[in-house]
Amino acid sequence: MSRPATTAPAHSAATLSKGLVLLFAFCCGVIVANIYYAQPIIELIAPDIGLSAGGASLIVSLTQVGYALGLFFLVPLADLLENRRLMLATLAVTVVSLIGAGLSEGPGVLLATSLLIGFGSVSVQILIPLAAHLAPEETRGRVVGAIMGGLLLGILLARPVSSLIADHFHWRVVFFGAAAAMLLIALVVATTLPGRRPDHRASYAQLLRSLGQLFRREPVLRQRALYQGLMFAAFSLFWTAAPLALSREYGLSQSQIALFALAGAVGAVAAPIAGRLADAGHTRSMSGLAMALGILSFLPGVVPLPLGVVGLAITGVVLDFAVQMNMVLGQRAVYSLDPASRGRLNALYMTSIFVGGATGSSVASALYAHTGWLGVAALGSGLSLVALIAFAWAQAAPGEKRGLCRAD
């Protein structure tokens, strides 16, 4: 049985004003967007740097692999080092990498900088546990949900922004503009973010070893990581393959693809809703609903109806809503396990998610090339189905094996 969560100290709760929550949400959205700028413009980037059409999705998947590596090796340091300095260091890596991507002339350099862009962008996952630490127990779900709303808007708006910029200027301008935005965020972090020095005392090696101990000890963490990893694989699969389908099958320009991607931003409303539902004790029922919606979301793109682009847009909105709801519900449950280990718990949870995301995006181009949209829809729906089956299996198990926690 997982230990109950402890209540955040009163002085910490008072530190987190509404203005600071909005600032956290804004910073998270701008930082996480770096991972997704390349997603809708890989068909513009690939021929320009000599990368094959089949290998184009490596640009996206390597960024996500870099993010997963950063989650595993950098984010745990949030339980050991002063958080603001750690964030500034990771932002510096991101700025240099974005500039390098914009200057790259060959596939090797761009793929390497894509990996580093993801690696440095994990600063967003230092911010979220910090907010959870500052928030009182009774509103933690709402605070995390509000900040995740900003983060998820960043994910969803990154695609239309990069499409518009690439269509009217050049794909390189996307990366240079992102580097400028990171310099602005670094200034905001340096001047406004509250400092936090963790109480945890250990060496870096001990910290990394403790990740395995935490993963074995916390069944809720293992379960939520599996569910969201599968759901995020479906999410990345869709958003990597959809621009290919829109361009090749429907002849949409980059600006039109940008308008399509804006439809997915509607799903960001799921984050604050999920946070409030988690605070009210509805994690279990809403998790099942989110996974079921993930399965059903792909149907409009394959049913024998003349839905066309509209069908794909419906898939994008419903899938985004489902994935974002399940992510916030999972975070609320994971953050309630052990306040002293939130940085590492978050690292393990998010690493699993982005391993799933990198897997989904890495197979998208080849799967679409060989099977068309039907194959993409079948795999995307199947991933959510596996998550729902695993969730149902865990709920049917006795309480000890199920890993019940207060967030359930």
DSSP-assigned letters across all residues of 184-250: HHHHHHHHHSPP---S----HHHHHHHHHHHHHH-HHHHHHHHHHHHHHHHHHHHHHHHHHHHHHTT
| Strongest mean pLDDT among 78-87, 124-133, 175-184 | 175-184
The answer as to whether 407 is a domain residue is no
CATH number at 76 reads 1.20.1250.20
Predicted confidence at residue 273, as pLDDT, reads: 67
Residue 2 lies in a domain: no
Does residue 269 surpass a pLDDT of 70?
A: no
- Per-residue pLDDT band for 334 (boundaries 50, 70, 90) equals confident
Q: What is the mean pLDDT of residues 2-22?
A: 53
Domain that holds residue 344: 10-402
Tell whether the model's pLDDT for residue 196 goes beyond 90. Answer: no
pLDDT at 6: 39
325 CB burial (10 A radius; 0-12, 13-18, 19+): buried
> 56-85 burial, b for 16+ CB within 10 Å, e for fewer?
bbbbbbbbbbbbbbbbbbbbbbbbbbebbe
The answer to whether residue 281 sits within a structural domain is yes
Q: How confident is the model at residue 386 (pLDDT cuts 50, 70, 90)?
A: very high
The domain total for the chain is 1
Write out pLDDT tens, residues 31-48: 989 988 987 788 788 888
- Tell me whether residue 384 is in a domain: yes
Residue 328: inside a domain, yes or no?
Answer: yes
pTM strictly above 0.95:
no
In this structure, is residue 99 part of a structural domain? Answer: yes
| pLDDT above 50: residue 3 | no
- Please determine, for residue 55, whether its predicted confidence score (pLDDT) is greater than 80: no
Q: Give the H/E segment covering residue 276.
A: helix 270-279
For residues 171-188, average pLDDT: 93
Q: Which residues contact 319 (CB under 8 A, 6 or more apart)?
A: 234, 235, 238, 267, 293, 294, 297, 298, 380
Closest by CA to 339, choosing from 194, 147, 190, 133, is 133
Q: How far is CA 364 from the centre of its chain?
A: 18
Confidence (pLDDT) at 120? 92
In a domain, 5, yes or no: no
| The predicted structure's pLDDT at residue 285 | 77
Compute the average pLDDT of residues 241-245.
86
pLDDT score recorded for residue 295: 93
Residue 136 has pLDDT above 50, yes or no: yes
Report the C-alpha gap between 184 and 352 in whole angstroms: 30
Domain membership of residue 140 (yes or no) is: yes
Sole residue written with tokens 């709402």:
142
Nearest of 25, 211, 24, 185 to residue 90 by alpha carbon: 185
